[in-house]
């Protein structure tokens, strides 16, 4: 067998293996998409008269929720809040604890179509004096104690590598005040580069997203590898939603978050530095 033929066979084998490996992850995505209760939640921060809402994902059976740090910023108040609650979507009878409030919401684009939000009080776990993990746009919240919570596994214990062209899945809900169908999306996005933000360097991906997907989990092979931080849609028109463009996200891994769950007493950022963050430099959905 000549070298050229041998090389073609090796390439064909690798390609077939990659295809088979990708197909094997579909059952994982199907299970996550249909889970009730699911590890994907809504995180809400309350200000004086307004609220800040985003996505989140449960990362431990004890109810640790990973989301974006800027969810704590109430733009109308020009300050951070320490009042949070977290919502599970669905009608599950197997929620890990007793909700403090159950709310029925109706979709604006589907007559009589409704879902329930089960609200739980939550606490933000500060990292020293900071709300952010290592000055990144990441934060961990704690749900009330109860039965083991549904959780997502990390893609890697150590910091993983990403390549341009990698396909990830962005997981997020639509909000009831925005017309949206379906109500939960696990849509593919393609990694295309990096960008410098007010929170430091973040990865860029292109694809479809929903307004309000900030804090959404990014999965690789069905496991958590990132958290969406912001979106950059160039051609958005007033009062319309064109959910195709670029998103930026924070890379996450097991060891990074394990240290955040049990933070050291060392201060990572002063309150004054937090107040000076520029939250208007990009569109945070």
In sequence order, the 6+-apart residues with CB closer than 8 A to the CB of 272 are: none
Enumerate domains of the chain plus CATH numbers. 3-33 (no CATH), 34-142 (2.40.10.10), 167-275 (2.40.10)
Classify residue 150 by burial, with Cβ atoms within 10 Å: 0-12, 13-18, 19+.
buried
Its pTM stands at 0.81
Are the C-beta atoms of residues 251 and 162 closer than 8 Å to each other? Answer: yes
> DSSP code of 283?
B
pLDDT (tens digit per residue) in 200-237: 899 999 988 877 889 999 999 999 999 999 988 755 55
Q: How far is CA 234 from CA 48, 172, 216, 244, 282, in A?
A: 32, 21, 21, 9, 11
pLDDT (tens digit per residue) in 79-115: 999 999 999 988 777 888 888 999 887 766 566 677 7
| pLDDT band for position 184 (cuts 50, 70, 90) | confident
């Amino acid at each position: 067998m000549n070298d050229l033929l041998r090389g073609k066979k090796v390439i064909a084998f690798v390609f077939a293996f990659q295809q088979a490996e990708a197909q094997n992850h579909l059952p994982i995505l199907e299970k996550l998409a249909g889970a009730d209760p699911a590890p994907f939640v809504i995180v809400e921060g309350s200000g004086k008269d307004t609220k800040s809402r985003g996505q989140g994902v449960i990362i431990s059976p004890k109810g640790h929720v990973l989301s974006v740090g800027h969810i704590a910023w109430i733009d109308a108040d020009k300050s951070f809040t320490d009042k949070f609650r977290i919502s599970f979507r669905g009608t599950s009878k197997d929620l890990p604890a007793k909700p403090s409030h159950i709310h029925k919401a109706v979709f604006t684009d589907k007559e009589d179509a409704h879902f329930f939000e089960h609200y739980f009080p939550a606490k933000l776990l500060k990292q020293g004096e900071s709300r952010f993990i290592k000055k990144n746009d990441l934060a961990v919240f704690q749900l009330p104690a109860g039965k083991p919570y549904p959780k997502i596994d990390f893609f890697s214990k150590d910091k993983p590598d990403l390549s341009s062209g990698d396909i990830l899945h962005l997981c997020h809900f639509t909000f009831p005040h925005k017309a949206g169908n379906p109500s939960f999306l696990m849509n593919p996005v393609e990694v295309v580069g990096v960008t410098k933000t007010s929170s430091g360097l973040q990865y860029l991906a292109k694809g479809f997203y929903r307004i309000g997907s900030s804090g959404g989990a990014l999965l690789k092979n069905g496991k958590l590898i990132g958290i969406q931080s912001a979106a950059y849609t160039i051609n958005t028109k007033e009062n319309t939603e064109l959910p195709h463009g670029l998103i930026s996200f924070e890379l996450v891994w097991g060891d990074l978050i394990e240290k955040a769950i049990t933070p050291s007493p060392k201060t990572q950022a002063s309150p004054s530095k937090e107040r000076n963050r520029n939250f208007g430099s990009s569109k945070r959905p």
